[in-house]
Amino acid sequence: MSTTTDERRRFRAPRVPRRALALLAALAGAVALAAPASAALPPFTDGKVSPFIRGAGSDTTYDLMQNLDKIYNLSPGCNLRVPPDAPQMECDPLDQGAAVRTENYDHEVAASLYPQGSGAGLRMLCQKNDNKPGVYDINYARSSSGPGSVPTQCQNANDPLRYVGYAKDAIAIPKWLGGASAPVANLTHAQLQEIFRDISGDGCKEDWGDFGGTPGTQIMVNGVQTSSGTYAAFQAFLGGDPNRCVEETGGKVLFENACTPINNLPAADRGRSIWFLSYGKYASGSAECTDAGTDLISVGGVAPTATTVQNGTYQYNRTLYNVYRRNLPAATPWALGYIGENGWICKPNALHSKPVGSTGPGQEHQLADRNYGQAIDKAITEAGFVPVNSNPGANKCATTDVN
Assign 12 a pLDDT band (cuts: 50, 70, 90).
very low
Q: How far apart are CA 80 and CA 78, in angstroms?
A: 6
Question: What percent of the chain is predicted at pLDDT more than 90?
Answer: 69
Tens of pLDDT, residue by residue over 297-350, are 999 999 999 999 999 999 999 999 999 998 866 568 889 999 999 999 999 999
Backbone phi, then psi, for 90, in 5-degree steps? -135, 155
Same fold across 5-167+319-402 and 169-317: yes
What pLDDT score does 239 carry?
97
Picking from 31-40, 108-117, 207-216, which range would have the lowest pLDDT averaged per residue? 31-40
More confident residue, 90 or 328: 90
What Å distances lie between residue 236 and 147, 223, 239, CA to CA?
A: 11, 15, 5
Would you say residue 249 has pLDDT above 90?
A: yes
CB 130, CB 217: distance < 8 Å: no
Q: Given this model, what pLDDT does residue 45 score?
A: 61
The DSSP annotation for 47-81 comes to: SBPPSPEEEEE-STTHHHHHHHHHHHHTS--PPBP
How far apart CA 243 and CA 226 sit, in angstroms, is: 9
Percent of the chain with pLDDT over 70: 87
Quote the CA–CA distance of 188 and 195 in Å, as a whole number. 11
Which of 83-92, 170-179, 192-201 is the least confident region? Answer: 83-92
Instruction: Please give the mean pLDDT across all residues of the chain.
Output: 86
pLDDT for 329:
61
Higher pLDDT, 132 or 212: 212
All structural domains of the chain with their residue ranges: 5-167+319-402, 169-317
Q: Model confidence over 179-209: pLDDT tens digits?
A: 999 999 999 999 999 999 999 999 999 999 9
Helix (H, G, I), strand (E, B) or coil at 152: helix
pLDDT for 330 equals 59
The C-alpha atoms of residue 30 and residue 28 are separated, in whole angstroms, by 5
The Cα–Cα gap between 66 and 341 comes to 19
Task: For 271-293, write each residue's pLDDT tens digit.
Answer: 999 999 999 999 999 998 987 79
Mean pLDDT of 356-375: 95
Q: What is the pLDDT of residues 213-232, one digit of tens each?
A: 999 999 999 999 998 999 99
Q: pLDDT class for 382, splitting at 50, 70, 90?
A: very high
Superfamily of domain 169-317: Periplasmic binding protein-like II (3.40.190.10)
Rounded Cα distance between 255 and 242, Å, is 14
What is the rounded average pLDDT of the residues 20-48?
Answer: 37
Q: What is the pLDDT of residue 392?
A: 66
104 pLDDT more than 50 = yes
Q: Give the pLDDT of residue 30.
A: 34
Is the CATH number of domain 5-167+319-402 3.40.50.12280? Answer: no
Banded model confidence at residue 175, pLDDT cuts 50, 70, 90: very high
The average pLDDT across 163-177 equals: 97
By mean pLDDT, which of 6-15, 120-129, 393-402 is the weakest? 6-15
